[in-house]
Structure 1
Amino acid sequence: MNVYDYFDKYTFLCEMYDEEGDEIVELVLNFYPFDNSVQIINTKKGKNLLKRVQLPPLKLEMLQIGNIVNIFSKLLYITDCAPATRRTLFNNVQSTFALIKPVPPSAHGKIITFIMKSGFRIVRMKNGKITKDFAMELYKSISGSNMMPIIIDYVTASEVIGLELVAPDAVKKWRKCLGATDPAEAAPGTLRKLYGENKLKNVAHGCNTLEDANQMLELFFGYDKGIPRVPYRATLKDCTCCIIKPHAVIDGNLGAILEQIATSGKFFIAAIAMFSVKLGNAQEFYEIYKGVLSEYEAMCIHLAEGKCVALEVKSLDSNINCVCEFRKLCGPRDPDLARQLYPDSIRAHYGKTIIHNAVHCTDLPEDGELEVEYFFKLLAND
């Protein structure tokens, strides 16, 4: 049992949209880790909206400020927490910026898995190409070094992946996980020791200070006059859409799914980004299934209850239909059926139920570009 499980309760402040009253309602969510039960209080009315009841699917790691949680089909946006909860769960929690340098795409999944298993939450993520100005700012700590021009050329030559990582003392923790600059000198088990080649091709970068991390997060993920400073990589052409669902991210399977796609020998990921999807957007995205699938409402709620990762997937062979072939890699919607018929498919490995089936993939060949556009053009600029 985790030491935190002995605490009586954790208290979070939440907001919920009340469709009937067309208003935002402020609520208090109490989570009791000992028996995984929840209670919801409407403080304004001074009464329970939900009496204390066990909710096994809810995990403590879902209860993060800024997250949306699904409590019996009611979506609660967590805005804050009580001081005692903050001291216990979020003591010295901070964000840092991580950059995965140009490495073979087949390594991306392994690196992401390493990061998540090291105790970091990924809260923002996207691939992109950085400018020389960005790279010079990133490596300003070695300005004047003979290596500086070589490093700048290397990291700007091809695609990188930027991430915001959250953990207690995240800046220091990430640098420790990276290991020494030279992989040959890095400690066993560190990222650079495992996957680095040399001082230049040493997998990833980490910031030295919290101030530097905050600056690089703004430069990589920020906007200038409504335009992303680092553009999204989606081509919106000859592609299919894959959404790695919130439960798969929370379960730590993001890296494994990326690896399975990248090593399939049939596909490559052209664009990747993490999104928080509002319920209205989820309903719009899944509208084609409304009145067709009985699970429509539950599908929408799940897509909106946590962070998901959207992918633009393209075929290595331009002669095959990317949408149809990628559906085979994903497997049937029902993971139980997938395990029987396509045991090596993504849903067979990582799906739980028809709703929590690891990934969404485009159904109709003509919808691939439209679904990718919905995320990488519409939601990216929302």
Structure 2
Amino acid sequence: MSTDAPATPVQPPAGTPRRRRPSAGGEWLVTAFAVLGALIVGAVLIAVGDARTRAAAGYFFTYPWDTFSNAWYAVRDAYVALLEGAVYSPALSGAGALGPVSETLVNATPLILGGLAVALAFRVGLFNIGAQGQVILGAIAAAWLGFTFDLPVVLHLLVALVGGVLGGALWGGIVGWLKARTGAHEVITTIMLNYVAINLLIFLLGVPGFQRPPYGQAISEQVDASATLPALLGGSLRVHAGLLLALLAALGVHWLFERARLGFRLRAVGANADAARTAGMDVGRLQVVAMGLSGALAGLAGASQVLGVSGSVTGSVAGSIGFDAITVALLGRNNPWGVVGAGLLFGGLRAGGVQMQSATGVPVDLVGVLQALIVLFIAAPALVRAVFRLRAGGRGVGTELAGGWSR
């Protein structure tokens, strides 16, 4: 029988600074101030671009108040117009008062689904840069099923949605299979498959049977009414049931990683693939599953665009959804509900940007600048903490990409 005394924990030398544990609250605080920092820089750009402010700057040292006053009114008017175009405009009444919110939700729906797709892959340690191609494949499959078959209303919609999901899952699964079997890096294969998807779409838009007659324009047949997503707020507003699918998808991703056994295995692979392999997990199979699920979410984003907004496929059906989804995932810190919030923010910026340009003349391109600035500040948390004098404690994007995925 051993009589050894229990081992005494080794204490660090006196004076050694105690390392802070990463704080989720600190991460979200950095995110909030990153958005604020982007708005401040955007305000400077608005002031510089305002003609009256530049004219007043010519006699700044004689009467400086004119410069500051004109800059203030330019920034105020632009941001008020941006807010009114995204949330609520006092000039509108009745059902039209919900128009800005409707447009925000319409723009946010594919961004949420695409952001969830990218975030899911990130959580498993995979870089899904191919959401754009997966969105295109989902749109192609959903549209083809939507205008080719004549089915009952509910069944036709389900078939088209499932087709879009399977189209994206196939495109993502190819990437996972190539990585598992050959070791091909997913960044390279996803980028290359983006080009394949784009050129496949261009080809199909010139094929009779997919292209709409009289075959003079690059546009597909119109999806049947039985396969379209129903409007949520009436026919005059564009927000559709795809928003509910996006919220259900966020709930599903949350459940997957927090409650499901498969989610635990996926997180284990993302944390340390070698350790997961040593524990007996089939890392290759899990990577295929992860990329398939990621592609399925992106495919659902493409299907929601075709079945809920456009009703047909064009060369710009995916827009920049797949690439903006990367930004949404990073801003949401790969958390499903954070992705929902980031998608709503970017959707509001897109919707409000149109109103901002029409009301104040500030180019809608400022929205893209704001998005880029947000990502820049998110990727440089030390800069945000230094500027706004925040205490250290949150992790940045750099550490998340290195393996410390945020829950």
Specify which structure has the bigger relative contact order, considering alpha-carbon pairs within 8 angstroms and separated by 6 or more residues.
2
Higher helix share: 2
Greater Rg by CA: 2
If the length of structure 2 is used for normalisation, what is the TM-score?
0.25
If the length of structure 1 is used for normalisation, what is the TM-score?
0.26
